[in-house]
Amino acid sequence: MKNNFTLTLIKVFLTLLILSSALWQTARLSKENALAELEQEGRHQLSLYISHLQGRLDKFESLPELLATNKRLAYQLQHPQDREGAEALSRDLEKINQISGAADTYLMNSGGLTVAASNWQSERPFVGRNFSYRPYFREAMEGRLGRYFALGSTSQRRGYYFAYPVRHQQQTLGVVVIKFDISQIEQDWSLSDDRFLVTDPDGVIFITTEGDWRFKSLQPLSTQAKDRIRAGLRYVDTEIEPLALSTVESIGTAIRIVELGPEEGRRFLMLEHEMPEAGWKVHILTSYKTVSGQMRRSLLLVLSLFTVLLLPALYLNQRRRRLLERAEFARRAKRDLELRVRERTQELTESNTRLSSEIEEHRQTGKALQQTQDELIQAAKMAVVGQMATGISHELNQPLAAIRSYADNSRALLQRERKEEACWNLQQISQLTERMATISSQLKLFARKTSGQLVSVSLPAAIDYSLKILAPRIKEVSAEVRLQLPQQEIFLQADMVQLEQVFVNLISNALHAVEEGEQRIIEISGSQREHLFHMAIRDSGCGIEEAHLKRLFDPFFTTKSESSGLGLGLSISHRIVEGMGGTLEAKNHPEGGAVFILEMPLAAAPEGN
């Protein structure tokens, strides 16, 4: 999980790295391209502009030299007192000025005083004024073509001056000057998209297509420079402020990206070119917008391309991840299932083992219980036998005494040879031994162990047998046993020995109950109820105490003396009956005495009956 996250982070990081480097490269290349194009275009425009400027200058450059050849100029300088001549010259100069399209044409003497001027008729004519402080004058006086550009001190118009020496026989007499208005140049180019500016050697903007920039310096001027400019009166008394132009980036010496303000539209590519003869530096400022635009377009293109390429890649990656996740999920589900199955199998095996051992334990317990039960039954039987011991001994002693007297009689009779009588006595002996054999066999039968098998058992036979066993006791108590059973033979689903034991127990208890009473009646009645046979063994005893009713079937509950009762009879009978699928209950009869209700499942008559 953590590894996956790290891997995704690395992928995102790499993608971003590739994207940013692609964008950076694109930006760089597109900027270089756009700049190269812009530079080319700028250079072209700049060269056109310079040609235009040069053309303008060229037009007037040779004019002073041509004028200086006119003898009248030298004459006038040699004859300053000739006022008429001066006026005529001024008039001629006015005409020449008109024809050439110059702003002013004038003649100065060697002291710098204007002696004739084309504007002799204007409000502020040059005639009589001294311009010796102008550098062009000095240059011309030194014998070369003087050039200068300045704001006209009188006209307040920007002009370019060409001055040429007027000579006579190797002597410089004065200077002829032609001044032309350069504001015209600005007008010619004002419609261009590009911004042009021409600066003087101090970097002061002198000609520009942007009116606001005029007389501003490209960089802040030092105080000395300012003082020098003020002294030279080039810009009369105009205060030179720096133009708020900052360089963003310099590309080579003559190319830079400049900014005029924070807005994007005020960023330019600036190219410059020297015009050494004129003392000018010409600059072109081309809008940087195209570069930004081209960069934006290229970046957009790269971004789109990247998106187009990245989207399918992302989709494929996503799909691959989903497939992997699904496979992982299936793998995990399978593993979980296997684990659960293994755990469940383990649990089942354990519980199976547990169950097996519990079953074995139960079987052992059952076996032990069965054994205990059998032993208990046996013990109870023996108890009954013990109870009956007096009756039995009485029962056996009587015939034994009779046998003895019959034997004595037989011997005496045989001695007297009374054979017939002796034979009768012997017959009685034989009958008595038969009766004793019956008694002992019945006791033997009763004492035998149960088989535990449920079979079809005849109810009357079982009752009959029980009564036979108890016959000595019945006789002893002098009880009357009344039988009220259906006519037809009844068969019960039972174990013969156990059923007989139940009857022996119940009747024996009843005998005990009636023993002391005046009436000694035991009533055994029965009737069929659906698949059950319902029996009531009622006695005329004094019944069972209400408090004893609940505990009657508890083992070892007895009200009898230790010698005569163990308290096992009813508890064993109850278990035997339940074991055979029947019920045994006890209650008191409303008319007195106890009633034991026994219900047993009926059975079909055994085969061969």
Quick check: 510 binds ligand ADP (CB under 6 A)? yes
Nearer to ligand ADP, 156 or 478 (CB): 478
The residue within the footprint of ligand ADP, chosen from 422, 513, 524, 603 (CB under 6 A), is 513
The residue within the footprint of ligand ADP, chosen from 403, 541, 580, 598 (CB under 6 A), is 541
Nearer to ligand ADP, 565 or 581 (CB): 565
Interstrand relation of 241-242 and 216-217 (parallel, antiparallel or unpaired): parallel
Hey, is 129 helix, strand or coil? coil
Q: Please count the residues of this chain forming the interface with ligand ADP, following the rule CB under 6 A.
A: 19
The 8 Å CB, 24+ separation contacts for 260-265 are: 264/288, 264/289, 264/292, 265/289
Quick check: 505 binds ligand ADP (CB under 6 A)? yes
CB of 352 to ligand ADP, least distance (A): 43
Nearer to ligand ADP, 75 or 557 (CB): 557
How far is Cα 418 from Cα 408, in angstroms, rounded to an integer? Answer: 13
The residue within the footprint of ligand ADP, chosen from 149, 162, 539, 577 (CB under 6 A), is 539
Hey, is 524 helix, strand or coil? strand
H helices of 198-271, in order, are 223-232
Quick check: 529 binds ligand ADP (CB under 6 A)? no
Residue whose entry in the numeric block shows the structure tokens 């074995």: 360
Show contacts with ligand ADP in window 554-583 (CB under 6 A). Answer: 557-560, 565-570
> Which residues fall within 8 angstroms of residue 223, CB to CB, at 6 or more apart?
none
Query: 30: which 2 tokens?
Result: 């597109």
Nearer to ligand ADP, 584 or 603 (CB): 584
Nearer to ligand ADP, 182 or 568 (CB): 568
465 burial class (0-12, 13-18, 19+ CB within 10 angstroms)?
buried
CB of 441 to ligand ADP, least distance (A): 25
Q: If DSSP states are collapsed to H, E and C, what string results for 10-35?
A: HHHHHHHHHHHHHHHHHHHHHHHHHH
Interstrand relation of 480-484 and 521-529 (parallel, antiparallel or unpaired): parallel
Nearer to ligand ADP, 488 or 563 (CB): 563
How far is Cα 134 from Cα 160, in angstroms, rounded to an integer? Answer: 12
Q: Which string of x and - marks every residue 301-320 that binds ligand ADP (by CB under 6 A)?
A: --------------------
The residue within the footprint of ligand ADP, chosen from 90, 409, 509, 540 (CB under 6 A), is 509
CB of 343 to ligand ADP, least distance (A): 53
The residue within the footprint of ligand ADP, chosen from 544, 576, 584, 598 (CB under 6 A), is 544
Show contacts with ligand ADP in window 55-114 (CB under 6 A). Answer: none
Nearer to ligand ADP, 182 or 552 (CB): 552
The 8 Å CB, 24+ separation contacts for 374-382 are: 374/449, 374/450, 376/568, 376/572, 377/450, 377/498, 377/501, 377/572, 377/576, 378/447, 378/449, 379/566, 379/568, 380/501, 380/505, 380/566, 380/568, 380/569, 380/572, 381/446, 381/447, 381/501, 382/447
Quick check: 552 binds ligand ADP (CB under 6 A)? yes
Nearer to ligand ADP, 75 or 553 (CB): 553
CB of 380 to ligand ADP, least distance (A): 8
Nearer to ligand ADP, 204 or 502 (CB): 502
CB of 599 to ligand ADP, least distance (A): 18
CB of 409 to ligand ADP, least distance (A): 43
Quick check: 208 binds ligand ADP (CB under 6 A)? no
How far is Cα 535 from Cα 597, in angstroms, rounded to an integer? Answer: 6
Show contacts with ligand ADP in window 580-599 (CB under 6 A). Answer: 594
Q: In 468-560, at which residue ranges do the beta strands (DSSP E only) sit?
A: 480-484, 491-494, 521-529, 532-539
CB of 464 to ligand ADP, least distance (A): 20
Q: Are 181 and 159 in contact (CB under 8 A)?
A: yes
Quick check: 551 binds ligand ADP (CB under 6 A)? no
Nearer to ligand ADP, 513 or 580 (CB): 513
494 burial class (0-12, 13-18, 19+ CB within 10 angstroms)?
buried
Q: Which stretch binds ligand ADP (CB under 6 A): 29-37, 199-207, 527-535, 536-544?
A: 536-544
CB of 375 to ligand ADP, least distance (A): 17
How far is Cα 255 from Cα 253, in angstroms, rounded to an integer? Answer: 6
How far is Cα 508 from Cα 544, in angstroms, rounded to an integer? Answer: 15
CB of 466 to ligand ADP, least distance (A): 14
Nearer to ligand ADP, 205 or 535 (CB): 535
Hey, is 438 helix, strand or coil? helix
Q: What is the total residue count of the chain?
A: 609
CB of 605 to ligand ADP, least distance (A): 31
CB of 541 to ligand ADP, least distance (A): 5
CA distances from 359 to 189, 365, 366, 371 (A): 118, 9, 10, 18
Beta bridge partners of 285: 195, 270
Nearer to ligand ADP, 119 or 501 (CB): 501
Nearer to ligand ADP, 166 or 577 (CB): 577
Q: Which string of x and - marks every residue 455-494 that binds ligand ADP (by CB under 6 A)?
A: ----------------------------------------
How many helical (H) and strand (E) elements, i.e. helices and strands, does the chain have? 13, 20
Q: Which stretch binds ligand ADP (CB under 6 A): 218-226, 265-273, 406-414, 537-545?
A: 537-545
Query: 478: which 2 tokens?
Result: 């002098």
Quick check: 500 binds ligand ADP (CB under 6 A)? no
CB of 365 to ligand ADP, least distance (A): 24
Adjacency order of strands within the sheet including 205-208: 205-208, 195-199, 280-287, 267-275, 255-259, 246-251
How far is Cα 102 from Cα 164, in angstroms, rounded to an integer? Answer: 15
CB of 565 to ligand ADP, least distance (A): 3
Q: Which stretch binds ligand ADP (CB under 6 A): 1-9, 26-34, 320-328, 552-560?
A: 552-560
- Site residues for ligand ADP per CB under 6 A: 505, 509-510, 513, 539, 541, 544, 552, 557-560, 565-570, 594
